[in-house]
Amino acid sequence: MNAPLRRVGVVVMVLFALLFLNLNYRQVVKADAYRTDSHNRRVQTAEYERPRGKIADAKGTVLADAQSTGNSLKYLRTYPLKEEYAHVLGYKPVTPMVATGLERLNNDFLVGTSDKQAADRIARLFTGKEPAGGNVLLTISKATQDTAYQALGNNRLKAKSGAVVAMDPSTGAILAEVSLPSYDPNLLSTHDTSAARANYNTLNNDPAKPLLNRAVSEVFPPGSTFKIITSAAAMTADSSLTPDSVVPGGEFYKPPQVSDFQIKNAHTGVCPDQITLKQALTVSCNTVFARMGVERIGADKLKSMAQAFGFEQEPRFIEDQDRNYCGVVASRTGPMTAGSDNRVDPPAVAQSSIGQREVKMSPLQGAMIAATVANGGKQMRPYVVDRLQNSDLSIADHTEPKTLRTPISADVARELQDMMFSVVTADDGTGKSARIPGLQVGGKTGTAQDGEDAEDHGWFIGFALKDGKPIVSVAVFLQNAGKGGSAEAARISGLVMKAYADEKGIR
């Protein structure tokens, strides 16, 4: 009976080897997947064992903090500036809700488990210090963000919603990002799970949609701001066309072979039959750009110029390029065709050329268009995380600016600058409220129709240069602001850009 007993021993060995192999699979191969699984409530408690890293602006103002609680979840995420930075940061709630935006993107680093912190963790092991989360430093300029938030919130038209994006044209660094209405992220980061959920539901069901980030995650008809793209397409297609070239204008434009459709100007009398291109942009002459779109450029070239500026593609942040947790969306040009055979529809092209019809743009895209013109035709990829800082304040990583694309030549860029300066500096310019003493300010207003019953959107996209060098670009959007919306947007743009220049001591 000894031989079978030995074989039973072998069987037991095999059974235990299976256990051993399976445990290897569970505890090594699947370990990371299990550790970070959303059903694993340990991760959360462990995350809250030590203070989560801070998020701060360019000057170190703390925007997201960790407050000691004395409970089992030891630290509470707080947002001292509440609504102002909600859309920049996202929020970090307790499970089962999930983090959003930068809080989600940088979660590992804030918790202290990122690969980038391996050296820091080892150092702490030797020095015997508690492991700690790292800090995330943003490109946001406090003065610019404050001004944008205040000015947009206190707009004279009492528009309830809108957005501001300001960026550094030469790097793509986001200087301000505001979306209104906003919300207090502290309502969602509370450890009272049921309250957090109730607050979320309240915000989510609010008809004003405060959770939407109108600055980067929503698109709206750009109206006349799109004429910059139309101008760029026209001047690129025909190099003889300059800002001083005389082009046909008039009170009405009727595309050829179309009887029941016409484009007219916002105001009668501003647009004579013959007008220079620069003047046409200065007074925002619809008939000039509609005609140019249909007769000189065509749907294909108009579309491809818009795409060269970034339409149809998400302008994802550098640090967020792979995941897009910040929810950046693509602007769109729409089809510009009619009928089942998809032939080009001249009325559609005419309307698209002045930023109506199916054309939709995000405020971020607007700021990027202005920045591209200011930066001599070179478009930078936007980013909002400047540096990742270890808990000992050494730098773990910092963002290198990246050129995204070059949609226009330096010559065309200079000509566009010239035209956009005129919009602000000319006495009859639509954007004159954006003027800033001591800086060269250029831009373009936009008034976009938003359906039959709704008030028009007001837009301004623009930039400021000092001695020809780009300082800041901006896009201001006032949703359904009504009459005077674009002038108010221009005024807010001026305030925002001035705030940045003042903070930097340029002027």
Partner 1 sequence: MTATAIPSPMSGEAGVSEPARPHTRRNVELGLLLFVVVILTVFAAVVEGNAAGEVTSHFWVQPAMLAGIFGVGHVAVRFLAPYADPVILPAVALINGLGVMFLRRLDLAGVKAPQRANLDVFVGDGFRQLGWTAAAVIGAAVLLAIVRDHRSLSRYAYTLGLTGIVLVLIPAVLPAKYSAINGAKLWIKLPGFTIQPGEFAKILLLVFFAYYLVRKREVLSLASKRFLGIDFPRGRDLGPVVLVWLMSLMVLVFEKDLGTSLMYFGLFVVTLYVATERVSWLIIGLGLFLGGAFLAYFLGKSVGGPFLNFSERATTWLDPFGDADDKGYQLVQSLLGLGTGGLTGTGPGAGQPNKVPEVRTDFIFSGLGEEIGLFGLTALLVVYVLLVTRGLRAAINVRDSFGKLFAGGLSFTLGLQVFVIVGGISQLIPLTGQTTPFLSAGGSSLVANWLLIGLLLRISDAGRRPAGGAPAIGLGGIATGGGGGAPVQIKEMPTEVVR
Hey, which residues are catalytic here?
224
* DSSP per-residue codes, 330-371: --B----EETTTTEE-HHHHHHHHTT-TT-BB-HHHHHHHHH
Binding mask 17-36 for partner 1 (x = CB under 8 A): -xxx-xxx-xxx-xxxxxx-
From 14-22, 159-167, 316-324, 478-486, span contacting partner 1 (CB under 8 A): 14-22
Counting contacts by CB under 8 A, is residue 204 touching partner 1? Answer: no
The smaller minimum CB distance to partner 1, of residues 40 and 150, is found at 40
| Token code pair at residue 228 | 């910059």
Tell which one of 1, 158, 207, 273 touches partner 1 (CB under 8 A).
Answer: 1
Counting contacts by CB under 8 A, is residue 119 touching partner 1? Answer: no
Counting contacts by CB under 8 A, is residue 115 touching partner 1? Answer: no
Specify the DSSP class assigned to residue 103.
H
Q: 3-state class of 12 per DSSP?
A: helix
- The stretches of 363-409 forming alpha helices (DSSP H) are 363-374
> Least CB distance from residue 13 to partner 1, whole Å?
7
From 7-15, 145-153, 266-274, 491-499, span contacting partner 1 (CB under 8 A): 7-15
Nearest of 477, 485, 481, 493 to residue 220 by alpha carbon: 477
Counting contacts by CB under 8 A, is residue 402 touching partner 1? Answer: no
Binding-site size for partner 1 (CB under 8 A) equals 37
> Least CB distance from residue 31 to partner 1, whole Å?
4
Do 224 and 284 contact (CB within 8 A), yes or no? yes
| Token code pair at residue 122 | 């080892």
Counting contacts by CB under 8 A, is residue 98 touching partner 1? Answer: no
CA torsion through residues 432, 437, 440, 441, sign: negative
Dist CA 286 CA 257 (whole Å): 19
Q: How far from 274 is each of 232, 249, 270, 440, CA to CA, in Å?
A: 20, 6, 11, 28
Counting contacts by CB under 8 A, is residue 393 touching partner 1? Answer: no
The smaller minimum CB distance to partner 1, of residues 131 and 248, is found at 131
Binders of partner 1 in range 39-68 (CB under 8 A):
39-43, 45-46
The smaller minimum CB distance to partner 1, of residues 38 and 342, is found at 38
Do 435 and 494 contact (CB within 8 A), yes or no? yes
The smaller minimum CB distance to partner 1, of residues 22 and 67, is found at 22
Q: How far from 460 is each of 162, 446, 478, CA to CA, in Å?
A: 12, 6, 9
From 16-24, 205-213, 315-323, 345-353, span contacting partner 1 (CB under 8 A): 16-24
Counting contacts by CB under 8 A, is residue 95 touching partner 1? Answer: no
The smaller minimum CB distance to partner 1, of residues 42 and 156, is found at 42
Q: In angstroms, how far is the first alpha carbon of the chain from the final one? A: 100
Q: 3-state class of 39 per DSSP?
A: coil
Do 99 and 93 contact (CB within 8 A), yes or no? yes
Q: CA-based angle 264:270:274, to the nearest 5?
A: 85
The smaller minimum CB distance to partner 1, of residues 121 and 301, is found at 121
Counting contacts by CB under 8 A, is residue 118 touching partner 1? Answer: no
Q: At 329, phi and psi to the nearest 5?
A: -115, 160
The residue assigned the tokens 């330096």 is 410
> Least CB distance from residue 294 to partner 1, whole Å?
57
Counting contacts by CB under 8 A, is residue 125 touching partner 1? Answer: no
Q: Which residues does residue 91 pair with via DSSP β-bridges, in sequence order?
A: none
From 15-23, 216-224, 259-267, 380-388, span contacting partner 1 (CB under 8 A): 15-23
Counting contacts by CB under 8 A, is residue 128 touching partner 1? Answer: no
> Least CB distance from residue 119 to partner 1, whole Å?
20
The smaller minimum CB distance to partner 1, of residues 11 and 118, is found at 11
CB within 8 Å of 290: residues ≥ 6 apart: 253, 255, 263, 350, 351, 353, 354
The smaller minimum CB distance to partner 1, of residues 31 and 258, is found at 31
Residues that bind partner 1 (CB under 8 A): 1-6, 8-9, 11-13, 15-16, 18-20, 22-24, 26-28, 30-35, 37, 39-43, 45-46, 72
